[in-house]
Structure 1
């Protein structure tokens, strides 16, 4: 029979009444480790965190919504719904209430806000585009009226309006002197170039066959350049156009328009292209 007040002892001599302290100490240690881990996982770079918070606050407080015209989320937080929300207080859908968010259109097709005035250079480009469109229409009508569809071709290319003239229309075989029959068409073009306000590039092209031994030109490079120069001199000397408006080049057979393996292809490659470039003249 145990005596009252006697404490049981463990076999190793320790008092059994203190066993709860071991469990308590283990629990405290685990809790400490747990909170250390939580702290490590939630540790933030305070400088970056403050920067992000400040940026968000400025964005919300500016009052410039995505659609423009709405109040910021932090300006007027009085429990009222934002006018740009999908459904307003009257039960109207967002599509019906967008007039409160999106500026109304003005009669000229712009927004209610004052549009930035175009720069003088932008206005000049717009005027030039209008002139280029008119130029293409006039030349197309001229070609159709004079039945020159097989000799003169007009195309709107990215670099500008390209007017292609067949070598048979301009020159005799192997020569670079203009035929008198080509004068009326070139005269018509010169009148159109006079007020176009754009650079005009005159480019000579040949097929891949070498020049004849009796030719006055060394090779196709020289022949194509001489043909382009003949057209240029017509505009300058006979029509009195400004030299600063023009440039010319000879490309020989390096830029074929068709296959040189056939006669019809070679005929298409022997040409002079007059391109009204999409660029303003430098004053």
Structure 2
């Protein structure tokens, strides 16, 4: 009886190997706590990654989180903002290259280069590209457009979309069978610029679109000769990525 009782007493409690195993787990825990203490974690991105894994592994349906977490949205917006900043730097570089060309050729009063909400704006004033009442490109204008096209074929801008917009003043067209109104003139001018950029300057056609606005998008009141000259223009807009979806490319 005493021997059987000793065997039962020996079986009571945890096995002896558990003591060693517990010590090992404790040491590992301490090790990872130390690693964590020495590390720096971006909470937003960490949360986004964890939530993404939960969805993709089937913990949550459809690979989505249970609710819209602000940290996840902020993390995605942070990446988006980085891309926007990189794009802005590229546009600034292009603006500087254009301004250098304009200054070297004494065209400061003829071409405006500006960054606006849609992207980089190149504004050709009055008769820079065309003679009054005509839509055929001037020879000197082709040289300038070719320089612009070469810039837009650089790696930084090879995926950028380009919109060409024709504008006129409010004076009606007189005695022209080819252009009955300013609508036809503005559209034809924009189309001829696009055609040149495609056929002679080598820009891919799917990057370009043309629009004519006649007199209805003025930049100044059509009340003086000087203001009307400002409204007679062709705008070339290199679009920012976020504005492409609102443009007629898809």
Please give the per-residue CA displacement for 1:185-229, whole angstroms capped at 9, x wherever unaligned.
111110111131211110000000111213511210110000001
2:209 is aligned to 247
Q: Distance in 1 between matches of 2:80 and 2:105?
A: 37
Q: Distance in 2 between matches of 1:150 and 1:215?
A: 32
Please give the per-residue CA displacement for 1:145-197, whole angstroms capped at 9, x wherever unaligned.
11101110111111111100023111111000000011221111101111312
Please give the per-residue CA displacement for 1:62-118, whole angstroms capped at 9, x wherever unaligned.
xxxxxxxxxxxxxxxxxxxxxxxxxxxxxxxxxxxxxxxxx99x9xxxxx3236387
What is the CA-CA distance between 1:137 and the residue it aligns to? 1.1
The structure 2 residue matched to 1:202, chosen from 164, 167, 174, is 164
2:193 is aligned to 231
Unpaired segments ≥5 residues, structure 1: 1-102, 107-111
1:213 is aligned to 175
Pairwise CA RMSD of aligned residues? 2.6
What is the CA-CA distance between 1:238 and the residue it aligns to? 0.2
Q: Distance in 2 between matches of 1:205 and 1:135?
A: 24
Moved more, 116-125 or 137-146: 116-125
Q: 1:145 to 1:215 in 2, by over 3 A?
A: farther
Query: SS of the counterpart of 1:198?
Result: coil
Bigger relative contact order (CA 8 A; separation at least 6): 2
Q: Which has the higher helix share?
A: 2
Paired residues in the alignment total: 175
1:262 is aligned to 224
Q: Distance in 1 between matches of 2:200 and 2:80?
A: 32
1:184 is aligned to 143
2:95 is aligned to 136
TM-score by length of 1: 0.57
Q: 1:237 to 1:120 in 2, by over 3 A?
A: farther
Q: Distance in 2 between matches of 1:215 and 1:193?
A: 36
2:60 is aligned to none
Q: Distance in 2 between matches of 1:248 and 1:220?
A: 15
Q: 1:139 to 1:248 in 2, by over 3 A?
A: same
After the TM superposition, which residues 1-283 of structure 1 pair with which residues of structure 2 at under 5 Å, given as runs?
112-114=40-42, 116=45, 124-195=83-154, 196=157, 197-279=159-241
Q: Which has the larger radius of gyration?
A: 1
Unpaired segments ≥5 residues, structure 2: 1-36, 46-74
1:69 is aligned to none
What is the CA-CA distance between 1:120 and the residue it aligns to? 7.9
